[in-house]
Structure 1
Amino acid sequence: MKSVRIFFRDWKTIATNWVAAVLIGGLIFLPSLYAWLNIEASWDPYGQTNQLPIGVVNEDKGGTIRDRDIDVGSEVVESLKNNDSLDWHFTSRSKALDRLEYGDYYAVVIIPENFSAQLATVLNDEPKKAEIEYYVNEKVNAISPKITEKGASAIVEQITGEFISEVNGTIFSLFNEIGVTLEKDQSDIERFEGYVFQLEERLPEINRLVSDAYDESKDGQALLNKAGQMLPKATEVVGGSLHTIDETTKLLQAAEERLNQLAPKVEADLKRAQQIAHDINEFTSGLQGKDIDMSTGQELAKRLDDRVQESIERIGAVEAAIKQLQEQNREQQEEGEANNESSDQLNQALNDLQSLKTALQLIQTESNDIKGFLTDKQTVIDQFITNLNEKSKQTATQIDAFLKEYLETIEPRVLAEVSSAKKTMADARALLVEAQKTIPAVDKLISNTKGTLSEGQTLLVDVLNEYPYVNAKVNELADRIREFQKDADLRSIIDLLKNDPGAEKGFFAEPVVLNKNSMFPIENYGTGMTPFYTVLSLWVGALLLVSLLTTEVHHHEDYTERQIYYGKLLTFVSIGLAQTLIVTIGDIFILKVNIVHPLQFVLFGLLISAVFMTIVYTLVSVLGNVGKAVAIVFLVLQIAGSGGTYPIALLPKFFQTISPFLPFTYGVDLMREAVGGIVPERVMRDVLFLVLFGVLFLIIGTFLKKLLNKSVKRIMKKSEESGLFH
């Protein structure tokens, strides 16, 4: 009860002492100003970036992509003129850097002269990245470089987006053309795939054929070498053959002339033999049936014998001429220039002549017999004459037939064969002359062929050496085609390539659209900072109270240290609650902070104020001025380590370690629940820890104030004696 009496006496004093009332009123109101001014100042700083001057310098001279001129620098400048996120100033390089150095500009963005040209290398084998020069004066302000850097990044993102859109539009236009071309050539492509598979299958056979060709080329080279060696001999043989043909032709010419010379004589002799045969026949016919004067028999026999002998001689002359022709024909056969048919004709003629000759010789023999029998018997003579007549008639007939055959067959056939042999010799000579002319060309051809064959052998060796590589590559290509056919369809790829370039361009300009879904939306930066500045003002309010108000009782009554502790605690907490009501209600109605749960915001503020006031009051009540220093140290640590401004994850390791042990951590988090939206589990956790902090310091105050009171009073008295502390 005495503690409550202390509490009411303090408020009675405030009510009756206007100076105390004014001071207490100021102490109650001051924390709210601290919170409200900071919240208002940070209400929407990023909404005012359009007043942050940034220099922009465009030195870009443009570039070309696939015969299309581009000037990205000018496009960026035109885009920034319609961009009010920052206060863009378009000027020259020297002026921009001068104003940046002086502090008129917070940053300068320079687009260099090769910017578009560098971007245009995107379709080259070795594309080069374009660069934007960015200058910032970090001395002017700590936050502005972050804001300007964000603006510069926005420019880069804008350029990147537009450039990607433009380049992809060009690329997909090309793809569209390729797709149309591929569609036209689809059958050829599929046929090519078939060729690759056939080549893969037949490569071993090709390798075998090339190996065989190489082996045969070596044999061919040996043959060419042998042919080259034989060419001189062929030249000699051709020359000798020409000489032989010329000699043979001369022989044929002589034979033809001899035949022409003999032909009239042979014909005359045969006709004479024919005439004699007829005469003998007429003579013997005249003898038949007549009485022959034996005295004249010898004369008749002699005449007959003379006629027969003349015929035999004529036939012998013809036989000699034919044998001469036969000899010439045999020589031609040995030279290969006559056929067997003419030889057979001559043999048959000789046989016929031999028969005639034999018949005439028989007549001659029988005429001799007539001589022997003339004197003997007339009857026998008649018989002999009859036989002689028959024989002479047959001989005359045979001579007639042979003469006809000779004139119509033998002589024309022999002349034709000789003429044919002469023509054959002429043709053979022409061929040999042509061959003789060809031999130098053949020699040159063989020489050239040997060189070409040697080159071919080298090429074949190269082909054989490259076969393993070619075989591996063809197999690899075939495997890739099979893999491609397994994973993709050419028709589908063609359809993909034929997509609308405009639609693809729009897609790559913004391939990903960020759909922001705020689970606990915060209206602006000031609203987001309200929990921190409100909680901070409550701790500051507690510090103001312990700095101006005493934690001791100055009137003389019998109060224990514990009663004094609780009595003054009620006074300090009640003033702190008043501070909290003004701050939280002012946040809602004066600043119009958009708070989702305003009632909970006020109630949470009252809880936090009671805990903070208990902590600060206990420190000062137990430790005196040392407690005030400890409370200020607590404030400094909590501002940095509570996560009120920056996420805990971004803080140094030390602050991440102490954060769970700071009341601020749970106070700020609890107020954020009221501002953005309550998660009951987090509220329960924060309330529990705040209550634990309050209970802990109540225990400290309850048990340590009496224990440390004499020591603290001695220290405070000593400090007052210094004249520096009250």
Structure 2
Amino acid sequence: MKASLNIFFNDLKNLSKNWVAAILIGGLILLPSLYAWFNIEASWDPYGQTDQIPIGIVNEDEGAIVREQEIHIGEDLVNTLQDNKSMDWQFVNREKALDKLEYGDYFAVIIIPENFSERLGTVISDQPEKADIEYYVNEKVNAIAPKITEKGASVIVEQISSNFISTVNGIIFDVFNDIGIELEENLPDIEKFEDYIFLLEEKLPEIHEILDETIVDAGQADNLIHKAQGLIPRVEEATGSGLQTIDNTTEFLQDAEDRLNEIAPRINEDLAKIQSMLSQTNEFVSNTDSTTIDLTDGSQISDALNGQIDDTLQSIDTIEDALVQLQEQNNANKEQSNEQENNSLEEPNSNQDTINNTLSELESIEQNLRELQEQANAIDSFIEDKQTEVDGLLSGMKERTETVNEQVDAFVKEYKETIEPTVKEEVASAKETLADARSILEEIQSTIPDVENMLSRTDDNLSAGKETLEHVSGEFPYVNDKVNELAERVRNIQGETDINEIIQLLQNDPEAERGFFAEPVVLNENKIFSIPNYGTGMTPFYTVLAIWVGGLLLISLLSTDIHKTEAYTGRQIYFGRLLTFMSIGFFQTLIVTLGNIFLLQVEVKEPFWFVLFGLLCSSIFIIIVYTLVSVFGDVGKALAIILLVLQIAGSGGTYPVVLLPKFFQVINPFLPFTYAIDLMREAVGGIVWDRVFHDVLFILLFGLLALVLGVFLKEAINKSTNKLKQKSKESGLFH
């Protein structure tokens, strides 16, 4: 680093001793500023000088008569333009105007045709015609002037349109005012008529829908009546069959009741016999004592007990047989009832459940008796073994006989109090239900003739009504169209607002309405980061461009190498001479940025940062162009110039990037100008620090890449390019 500083200080010493070199360096420092200042001043406010652009105006309008009033809109337009100073209007005839336009004295010519007023007057006719204005422009004279003159022509058209609209609307609103007064006087009748029309229009779809539905219902009712008439014979047949079924079921129930009355005495007799035998058995077992029993006579006791139990079991079987017969009778009645279930008769089955429960209880008693019999038979096998077991058996027999006796007593009580009365009650209820059903069917059978007569009368009335409805439906489209047409006419008068609002609108001040329609919309402009003029807006671009041009001037006149290269390495020479270039570049930047602020009076929002950002851009640009020439020699100069050309077109300094060709949109992010111009714009218009950090980061990245190229690749590339330099010098054309 010390060697590089020695090179830098030697350059300063040589510069101070050589006045010619000092003058040249001074010129190099000042020239880039002149480049920026002249361009910024030239573009300071170009659109503020449009009054110097000559435009020919030719008025050939012959005027017209509208409603017995003579109008000359072309002449009115000429009078208006004579007071307008936005352009240098030249009022001449057609021939002179076109000659001067072709020669280039006029930038554009506007011709008002002879039928201009006449066509504008057709606005009150059934077929209005648009008026034309002829516009001629010489685009060869200048690239920007046609755009400016086109704007002037547009202003004329807009002004004519605005005046025409305000005038026509003024007349229209005068008429509207008279109409509003007349409408206000007749408002009550109008409102009442409107209500009638709109109500009828509103109900038309509903009326049509009801008509269609009624016709459909009439057709369906007619089909239903015919179907009902066809079902009458089947109803008569069904009621007759139902009566026959009820009679058969009643007969079955009577048979069941007779059978029950027949077997009831037998059941009571058998139950009494069972109670008696069980009582004797219980008494016999209770009186038997194991201490008095002669075990040798055990078989006699067992035989006697078995005989009593057998008689009891036989009586239980008799009762079961009787209950089974009664159950079979009930099942037969139930099957007969199920075959006629269409008659909606349902026979109760609670008596069936009662019989089933009774049979279950008898089976339980029978089971206990058989277990008692098995215990009695077991006495013989135990007699020879143990006396104690005999005692246990006798005790068990006592308990069993007592249990059986209690069950039989309970069953007898249940049978007499519940089973027999319930069965008889259910049979009686079923007979009563069948009697009611028979009464209902007889009543239905008696009303069938009346139903037949009613269906016949309804069928005749529906046929006549259906014909009337179809006739009304056929006439409905005509009525619908007429009502809608009348409602639409009312709506055209009323519009989408209340008629009171229409009257109020029609009675508005015609002069106020004319002024409104002449300029219905006023643009309220709000500027963010406002730029006072075009020159200020172009300052960032021309300043950055001047800094780059300053670098190009340095590499064109100053050498990147030193004469005594043997004492220093290539890297030391690179940094030593780079400091010299950057020092001159700093002075160039200070002059151009401070001159913009104080000499041209450019309104810079952040002057300090404007100068500081300029110095940053200068250092990076000097590093880039110096490195290109230091590494590549004359080829590097060409590369720096090519890069300048690409950046002028593709950096977005003049036109937005989105308006540029696709190629320049692609390379835009890879150009140093892109970020340098944006950085300078932040200082001129107002800083957004996120954008500043983004731009500074990329600018530093470009400088870093250039330093890497100069530090690490300079010596290697110079070895390859020295031969090319020597060869080019031999031509005598290059230094």
Say yes or no: TM over 0.5: yes
Whether contact under 8 Å (2:111, 2:133) holds in the other structure is yes
Once residues 182 and 464 of structure 1 are traced to their aligned partners in structure 2, the CA distance between those partners, rounded to angstroms, is 38
Within a 5 Å distance, the mapping from 1:363-382 to structure 2 comes to: none
Task: Establish whether residue 539 from structure 1 lines up as the match of residue 564 from structure 2.
Answer: no
1:124 aligns with 2:125: yes
Partner of 1:47: 48
1:548 to 541, 550, 557: 557
- Paired letter, 2:525: K
In the alignment, what sits opposite 2:10? 9
1:593 alignment partner in structure 2: 602
Q: 1:561-640 alignment to 2 at 5 Å?
A: 561-640=570-649
Match for residue 173 of structure 1? Answer: 174
How many angstroms apart in 2 are the aligned matches of 1:641 and 1:467? 73
| Number of the residue aligned with 2:677 | 668
Once the two structures are TM-superposed, the CA of residue 116 in structure 1 deviates from its matched residue by: 2.0
Q: Per the alignment, in what secondary structure is the counterpart of residue 57 of structure 1?
A: strand
Report the counterpart of residue 317 of structure 2 in structure 1. none
Of 86-95 and 483-492, deviating more is: 483-492
Q: Displacement, 1:20?
A: 1.0
Which residue identity does 2:13 align to in structure 1? Answer: K
Match of 1:193 in 2: 194
Unpaired runs of 5+ residues, structure 1, are 209-462
Give me the whole-angstrom Cα distance separating, in 1, the residues matched to 2:107 and 2:537: 26
* Cα separation, 2, equivalents of 1:589 and 1:17: 32
Quick one: distance in 1 between partners of 2:554 and 2:200?
Answer: 97
Q: Distance in 2 between matches of 1:515 and 1:94?
A: 43
Aligned equivalents of 1:69 and 1:612: distance in 2? 71
User: Aligned with 2:655: secondary structure?
Assistant: coil
Residue 110 of structure 2 aligns to a residue whose secondary structure is: strand
Deviation at 1:126, TM superposition (A): 2.7
Alignment partner of 2:559: what SS? coil
Number of aligned residue pairs: 470
Secondary structure of 1:691's aligned partner: helix
Distance in 2, Cα, partners of 1:185 & 1:701: 95
Matched residue SS, 1:110:
strand
Q: Does 1:653 align with 2:654?
A: no
Q: Compare 57-66 and 575-584 and name the one that shifted more.
A: 57-66
2:379 aligned residue: none
Q: Deviations over 1:297-336 (max 9, x none)?
A: xxxxxxxxxxxxxxxxxxxxxxxxxxxxxxxxxxxxxxxx
CA contact (8 A) 2:494 2:502 kept: no
> What code does the residue aligned with 1:15 have?
S
Q: Secondary structure at 1:187's aligned position in 2?
A: helix
- Give 1:194-209 correspondences, 5 Å limit: 194=195, 196=197
The structure-2 alpha-carbon separation of the partners of 1:598 and 1:57, relative to structure 1 and needing over 3 Å to count, comes to same
Residue aligned with 1:188, SS: helix
Q: Aligned partner of 1:131: which letter? A: D
Distance in 1, matches of 2:198 and 2:519, equals 43
SS of 2:567's equivalent in the other structure is: coil
Cα 1:179–1:526 change in 2 (3 A) is: same
* Distance in 1 (alpha carbons) for counterparts of 2:479 and 2:129: 35
1:691 aligns with 2:692: no
Shift in CA distance, 542/489, structure 1 to aligned 2, threshold 3 Å: same
> 1:37 is aligned with what amino acid?
F
What TM-score, normalized by structure 1, do the two folds share?
Answer: 0.61
User: 1:187-208 CA deviation, whole Å, 9 max, x = no partner?
Assistant: 3322432553687689999xx9
- Whether the aligned pair in 1 keeps the contact of 2:6 and 2:576 (CA below 8 Å) is yes
Give the alignment partner of residue 500 of structure 1, picking from 506, 509, 525.
509
Task: State the one-letter code of the partner of 1:492.
Answer: E
The 1-side partners of 2:571 and 2:204 are apart by 107
| 1-structure distance, mates of 2:506, 2:724 | 87
Separation of aligned partners in 1, 2:495 and 2:75? 48
Structure 1 residues 116, 104: CA separation in 2 closer, same or farther (over 3 Å shift)?
A: same
Cα distance in 1, alignment partners of residues 540 and 121 from structure 2: 51
Partner of residue 19, structure 1: 20
**Percent of aligned pairs with the same amino acid:** 66
**Higher deviation after alignment, 92-101 or 464-473:** 464-473
- Which amino acid in structure 2 is aligned with residue 670 of structure 1? L
Counterpart CA distance in 1 for 2:685 and 2:571 is 41
The 1:143/1:620 distance shift into structure 2, 3 A limit, reads same
2:32 corresponding residue in structure 1: 31
Q: Secondary structure at the match of 1:518?
A: coil
Per-residue CA shift, 1:347-401, capped at 9, x if unaligned? xxxxxxxxxxxxxxxxxxxxxxxxxxxxxxxxxxxxxxxxxxxxxxxxxxxxxxx
Distance in 2 (alpha carbons) for counterparts of 1:469 and 1:31: 88
1:180 partner letter: I
CA separation of 1:123 and 1:681: change in aligned 2, threshold 3 A:
farther
Structure 1 letter corresponding to 2:90: H
Q: Is residue 689 of structure 2 the alignment partner of residue 680 of structure 1?
A: yes
* Aligned with 1:474 (options 476, 483, 489): 483
For residue 507 of structure 1, give the secondary structure of its aligned residue in structure 2: helix
Rounded Cα–Cα distance in structure 2 between residues aligned with 1:704 and 1:127? 78
Match of 1:706 in 2: 715
Residue 534 of structure 1 and its aligned partner are, at CA, apart by 0.9
Q: In the alignment, what sits opposite 2:434?
A: none
SS at structure 2 position matched to 1:519: coil
Q: Distance in 2 between matches of 1:608 and 1:473?
A: 81
Residue 516 of structure 2 aligns to a residue in which SS?
A: helix
The CA distance in 2 between the partners of 1:681 and 1:707, in whole Å, is: 40
The answer on whether the counterparts of 2:58 and 2:94 sit within 8 Å (CA) in structure 1 is: yes
Contact 2:204/2:480 (CA < 8 Å) preserved in 1? no
Query: 2-side partners of 1:609 and 1:30: how far apart?
Result: 15
Q: How does 1:146-545 map to 2 (within 5 A)?
A: 146-194=147-195, 196=197, 468-475=477-484, 477-478=486-487, 488-545=497-554
Tell me, yes or no, if structure 1 residue 721 matches structure 2 residue 722: no
Q: 1: CA distance between counterparts of 2:642 and 2:26?
A: 26
| Aligned-partner SS, 2:508 | coil
**Alpha-carbon distance, 1:107 to partner:** 0.7
Paired letter, 2:5: V
Provide closer, same or farther for how the CA distance between residues 505 and 17 of structure 1 changes in structure 2, counting only shifts above 3 A.
same
Cα distance, 1:198–1:512 mapped onto 2, change above 3 Å = closer
**1:546-600: CA deviations, max 9, x gaps?**
1111111112442111111111111111111110011111111111212222121
Q: Which amino acid aligns with 2:617?
A: I
Once residues 687 and 124 of structure 2 are traced to their aligned partners in structure 1, the CA distance between those partners, rounded to angstroms, is: 54
Answer whether contact 2:54 2:106 (CA < 8 A) is retained: yes
The 5 A counterparts of 1:49-64 are: 49-64=50-65
My pick for the range that moved more, 671-680 or 50-59, is: 671-680
Q: Is the 8 A contact 2:543 2:592 kept in 1?
A: yes
- Aligned residue runs from structure 1 range 94-113, under 5 A: 94-113=95-114
How far does residue 530 in structure 1 lie from its aligned partner after superposition? 1.1
Amino acid in the other structure paired with 1:634: L
TM-score (structure 2 length as normaliser): 0.61
1:484–1:692 CA distance, 2 compared to 1 (3 A): farther
- The one-letter code of the counterpart of 1:519 is I
CA deviation digits over 1:242-283, x for unaligned, max 9? Answer: xxxxxxxxxxxxxxxxxxxxxxxxxxxxxxxxxxxxxxxxxx
Q: Write the distance in 2 (CA, Å) between the matches of 1:486 and 1:503.
A: 22
Q: Distance in 2 between matches of 1:671 and 1:141?
A: 30
Correspondence for 1:280:
none
Which moved further from structure 2: 23-32 or 123-132? 123-132
Q: Distance in 1 between matches of 2:204 and 2:192?
A: 16
Q: Report deviation, 1:649.
A: 2.0
Aligned to 2:169, the other structure's residue is in SS state: helix
Name the SS for the 1:126 alignment partner.
coil
Change (3 A) 1:82 1:550: same
Kindly name which structure, 1 or 2, has the bigger radius of gyration based on alpha carbons. Answer: 1
